[in-house]
Chains A and B, each alone.
Chain A
């Protein structure tokens, strides 16, 4: 009797444990299914790891194959084009330096713009080379008429804005792909080059030619992106990785709440990013203030 009672008690206890386990599994399973799955396209693995550790409540997946992804992040324009070609229906958040050269293909897509404003780049040029009077801004020749006019107006406004600071802004309109010959001729007109946020002019294929040509003529280049600084540009204004990741997560969380990505957003937190080795080779002296500002 007692033994039977014990057996029943033991079974009840086992059922209780099994039920509890089942509930726990069910809870976590339901919870997992409730997590937002975000696909990251073209993002380096370090960034994926960083997002996972920073915001673990979102399921960050690098280039996921399944169809259950709810939002895509395109780390650059090539990745965005790949997603469009693959006919992904979910909204896409594109990380790009600027949208002046391309438009978003769909209304429910959005962008996070990390390209530094030209005015800040020109002022950085002056800080890197305090005696620079003629700052050459390399921009694209051959845009459509409206874009060309818009670019010209922007450069004129900018030139007027920095004139009082003793800077003569020299627009250098070059047809892509940039040739060494054109850049060599342009180098005779200016003290220092500033690159615009134009990925057609400044990309991985043109970086080496641009940098080598500039340096053959002992001209420093304020690059359009941190990638150019790593490749050999003397400096750029850049969004700190911290700020960019935070903005990205905020954007995703906003989308989680509202179901909309909203209008493209320019990240407005910039700080100098320097290449002291290049500066030294070109005989440029980076002031302690500038070096301090560039520290993480």
Chain B
């Protein structure tokens, strides 16, 4: 038999054999371990790495390339690209970011995570977007799960979840410096150092941001003092453990000093209150494959927050005296009337019928009670949360992936002003999610979380999503989910008093407690949402365009909880029905250009025609358009337009943002990054609040960066 005929025979033989074998040499045959790497597509919807086609929720992903092309300096501006997300500035130091805009105070109906760690403040149910111990330069990408997600992240993942994913320490430059300067006294700095050492990879960054915020009170046409300065740092270290595990250590801190512009118009202040907000955290995350079927995930972190806001006031002793406090305890309305207009109130018939009012009125003749004195009080609070979470990714079948886990968090808050002391809350939960590929075209996602909250009891939040893959890159989803928002510590245990001490300690006899006080009855309700969603997601390769359409109908049992000392409201349930549609489309003419159009339509059936804080910031129409471009030769730029209508009843907000930047290579390893960003308000309405005015519609800044 010659070689050729032998080969021919062999080929015939192999042709029969190969039909039962793989096409070509597989990984293990060439010395690989055969495990496919986890493709980092999206991870936030179900704690699984999933294609956006497979997630049990609509998701918006904003990646590093887009963040760079935008040229923004603060996180909230990036979130304007999320359809349905309402973003505005409450003041220069406080941002409002709310999906569907229903919460007028903080982000209380949205969960916000940094690398999976919640930064939702347990005491006051808010997120400090501006004082976050993180700079925009530290962010790799942001995933926003649009829709309730308590099934995955527990209570407070009510309307949406924002997961901010920080940069991989192996990818950042060895050293980096960046400065920005521009209008409104923008003076920013950022520095980062990364190295390979101590057995792992590390990156540390520090940042400084300052600006003057709003300029004028748009209602009164008076100057507005709204300056803020933020300093902070962030560090992250990564170690590879056995069997391709990853141990991540991270820590961050920030300190924000902010003038409280909203107190500008009150005459009692001797000087404008300045708040100092300090936040910090340390965290550890261990992601460890155990075998081919199990992957352990362990997280632990400690978060601290403190806010110091001393108030230097000039008031008469009478308003902190026991007499007026006793009147307030008996008749709040009468005490408030007296505080507003003592003479008229004392001349009213109540003087005759109310002994406590008479006692107060008699003090009007006593100069010890009526002379103005310098007092100091404060609006301070402290908070600490310790959180531990363990989960297991289990792969029992090729078509089934399951995540099971438990979470325990212990929160403590301390505030003489808000809580009249200390308060705490413990939340324990178990969660599970299963992704089951029923067939090539059908995918079922089922998840639920069971939670026990010391304050609000037990809650159960399920979610079911069925996806039908019409074509390889098109999917139609039907989702039903239920979620809860549990009352924060302050809502449950609000007990507010302002203790005032005289600056001149020789007059300590005139120390007192501000006559107004408020105490919650401990019956704050757990808010609930029942959401039905039909969504369509497609990636049309030939165009190439991606299209994301979300139709939703949310039934809401909301409360109206207003934690004001002079107007405390802890309401019962009010039923709202929210319906709407969101469309998001992105066209990528090339890998270096993107055109995005986002639009959201929201319709709310509220309990009464009157607006309230649950609906004040719900725009009927909102949207954004952006063209972003990054040239492989170093140029980048963007042009973005965003708008909201019906904010605070009738305010219209729109803004045009533009950025252009260029990276110059100055040596083999060094680059210079030059950038110019402009934000231009096109309409003159105040932003979000009627006081928030600016003296110039545009804000422009330049940046220079050096990287090694």
A238 to B10, CA, bound (A): 20
Interface presence of A225 (CB below 8 A): yes
B1-40 contact mask (Cβ, 8 Å, vs A): 1 or 0? 0010011001101110111011111111111111111111
Interface presence of B632 (CB below 8 A): yes
Interface presence of B266 (CB below 8 A): no
Whether B6 contacts A227 by the Cβ 8 Å rule is: no
Whether A216 contacts B18 by the Cβ 8 Å rule is: no
B43-84 contact mask (Cβ, 8 Å, vs A): 1 or 0? 000000001110000000001110000000000000000000
Whether B36 contacts A231 by the Cβ 8 Å rule is: yes
Whether A280 contacts B32 by the Cβ 8 Å rule is: no
A238 to B26, CA, bound (A): 11
Residues of B within 8 A of A284 (CB): 541
Residues of A within 8 A of B291 (CB): none
- Given A227-B29, A230-B27, A249-B10, A281 and B35 touching (CB < 8 A)? no
Residues of B within 8 A of A271 (CB): 23
A179 to B591, CA, bound (A): 23
A133 to B632, CA, bound (A): 12
Interface residues of A in 183-218 (CB under 8 A from B): 184, 188-191, 204, 207-209, 211-213, 215-218
A225 to B63, CA, bound (A): 29
A189 to B663, CA, bound (A): 12
A246 to B30, CA, bound (A): 18
Whether B18 contacts A240 by the Cβ 8 Å rule is: yes
Shortest Cβ gap from B394 to chain A (Å)? 19
Q: Specify which of B18, B172, B544 is in contact with A181 (CB 8 Å cutoff).
A: B172
Shortest Cβ gap from B152 to chain A (Å)? 20
Interface presence of A294 (CB below 8 A): yes
- Given A131-B590, A283-B546, A180 and B170 touching (CB < 8 A)? yes
A296 to B173, CA, bound (A): 44
- Given A188-B630, A253-B3, A284-B541, A240 and B40 touching (CB < 8 A)? no
In chain B, what residue has the closest Cβ to A238? Answer: B24
Whether B41 contacts A281 by the Cβ 8 Å rule is: yes
Interface presence of A132 (CB below 8 A): yes
A213 to B171, CA, bound (A): 8
Q: Specify which of B14, B32, B542, B590 is in contact with A245 (CB 8 Å cutoff).
A: B14
Interface presence of B473 (CB below 8 A): yes
Interface residues of B in 461-504 (CB under 8 A from A): 472-473
Whether A230 contacts B34 by the Cβ 8 Å rule is: yes
- Given A218-B63, A296-B22, A133 and B590 touching (CB < 8 A)? yes
Whether B29 contacts A46 by the Cβ 8 Å rule is: yes
Residues of A within 8 A of B52 (CB): 283
Residues of B within 8 A of A47 (CB): 29
Interface presence of B264 (CB below 8 A): no
Interface presence of A239 (CB below 8 A): yes
A242 to B202, CA, bound (A): 47
B156-188 contact mask (Cβ, 8 Å, vs A): 1 or 0? 000000000000101111100000000000000
Shortest Cβ gap from A112 to chain B (Å)? 12
Interface residues of B in 494-546 (CB under 8 A from A): 539, 541-542, 544, 546
A178 to B25, CA, bound (A): 25
Residues of A within 8 A of B24 (CB): 226, 238-241, 244, 273
Whether B23 contacts A273 by the Cβ 8 Å rule is: yes
In chain A, what residue has the closest Cβ to B51? Answer: A281
Shortest Cβ gap from A128 to chain B (Å)? 10
Tally chain A residues at the interface, Cβ within 8 Å: 72
Residues of B within 8 A of A190 (CB): 591, 632
Residues of B within 8 A of A132 (CB): 591
Q: Specify which of B30, B174, B473 is in contact with A283 (CB 8 Å cutoff).
A: B473
Shortest Cβ gap from A243 to chain B (Å)? 8
- Given A227-B30, A280-B53, A241 and B23 touching (CB < 8 A)? yes
- Given A78-B31, A238-B24, A250-B6, A230 and B36 touching (CB < 8 A)? yes
Whether B140 contacts A216 by the Cβ 8 Å rule is: yes
Interface presence of A285 (CB below 8 A): yes
A169 to B304, CA, bound (A): 51
Residues of B within 8 A of A54 (CB): 10, 13-14, 17
- Given A204-B32, A250-B7, A285 and B53 touching (CB < 8 A)? no
A160 to B420, CA, bound (A): 77
Interface presence of B371 (CB below 8 A): no
Residues of A within 8 A of B30 (CB): 76, 225-227
Whether A253 contacts B37 by the Cβ 8 Å rule is: no
Residues of B within 8 A of A282 (CB): 39, 41
Interface presence of A134 (CB below 8 A): yes
**Most chain B C-beta atoms within 10 Å of own C-beta, residue among A47, A273, A278, A283:** A283
Shortest Cβ gap from A206 to chain B (Å)? 11
Shortest Cβ gap from A12 to chain B (Å)? 40
Residues of B within 8 A of A285 (CB): 472-473, 539, 541-542
- Given A180-B168, A230-B26, A191 and B590 touching (CB < 8 A)? yes
A282 to B17, CA, bound (A): 34
Interface presence of B244 (CB below 8 A): yes
A256-291 contact mask (Cβ, 8 Å, vs B): 1 or 0? 010000000000000101010110111111100000
A208 to B544, CA, bound (A): 29
Q: Specify which of A78, A131, A170 is in contact with B544 (CB 8 Å cutoff).
A: A131
In chain A, what residue has the closest Cβ to B591? Answer: A191
A281 to B51, CA, bound (A): 5
Residues of A within 8 A of B21 (CB): 50, 241, 296
B117-128 contact mask (Cβ, 8 Å, vs A): 1 or 0? 000000000000
In chain B, what residue has the closest Cβ to A132? Answer: B591
Residues of A within 8 A of B590 (CB): 131, 133, 191
Residues of B within 8 A of A91 (CB): none
A137 to B18, CA, bound (A): 32
Residues of B within 8 A of A217 (CB): 64-65
Residues of A within 8 A of B11 (CB): 242, 246
A120 to B691, CA, bound (A): 65
Whether A283 contacts B14 by the Cβ 8 Å rule is: no
**Most chain B C-beta atoms within 10 Å of own C-beta, residue among A213, A231, A254:** A231
Residues of A within 8 A of B591 (CB): 131-134, 190-191
A222-241 contact mask (Cβ, 8 Å, vs B): 1 or 0? 00011110111000001111
A224 to B50, CA, bound (A): 26
Whether B53 contacts A226 by the Cβ 8 Å rule is: no
Shortest Cβ gap from A146 to chain B (Å)? 23
In chain B, what residue has the closest Cβ to A291? Answer: B472
Whether A242 contacts B14 by the Cβ 8 Å rule is: yes
Shortest Cβ gap from B386 to chain A (Å)? 31
Whether B41 contacts A231 by the Cβ 8 Å rule is: no
Whether A211 contacts B541 by the Cβ 8 Å rule is: no
Residues of A within 8 A of B6 (CB): 55, 249-250, 253
Interface presence of A66 (CB below 8 A): no
A133 to B173, CA, bound (A): 27
Whether B14 contacts A44 by the Cβ 8 Å rule is: no
Interface residues of B in 578-616 (CB under 8 A from A): 588, 590-591
Whether A216 contacts B25 by the Cβ 8 Å rule is: no
Q: Give 21 CB contacts A-B under 8 Å.
A: A44-B28, A44-B29, A53-B17, A54-B14, A55-B6, A131-B590, A179-B170, A209-B170, A213-B171, A215-B40, A226-B26, A227-B26, A231-B34, A238-B23, A238-B24, A249-B10, A271-B23, A273-B23, A273-B24, A278-B39, A295-B23
B residues whose Cβ falls under 8 Å from a Cβ of A = 3, 6-7, 10-11, 13-15, 17-19, 21-41, 51-53, 63-65, 140, 168, 170-174, 244, 472-473, 539, 541-542, 544, 546, 588, 590-591, 630, 632
A residues whose Cβ falls under 8 Å from a Cβ of B = 42-44, 46-47, 50, 53-55, 75-76, 78, 130-134, 170, 179-181, 184, 188-191, 204, 207-209, 211-213, 215-218, 225-228, 230-232, 238-242, 244-246, 249-250, 253-254, 257, 271, 273, 275, 277-278, 280-286, 294-296
Further pairs besides A226-B25, A249-B10, A253-B3: 7, Cβ < 8 Å: A190-B591, A215-B39, A225-B30, A232-B39, A250-B6, A283-B473, A283-B546
Please list the 10 inter-chain residue pairs (A to B) with the smallest Cβ-Cβ separation, ordered nearest first: A285-B541, A230-B27, A180-B170, A227-B30, A189-B632, A191-B591, A232-B37, A184-B171, A238-B24, A296-B23
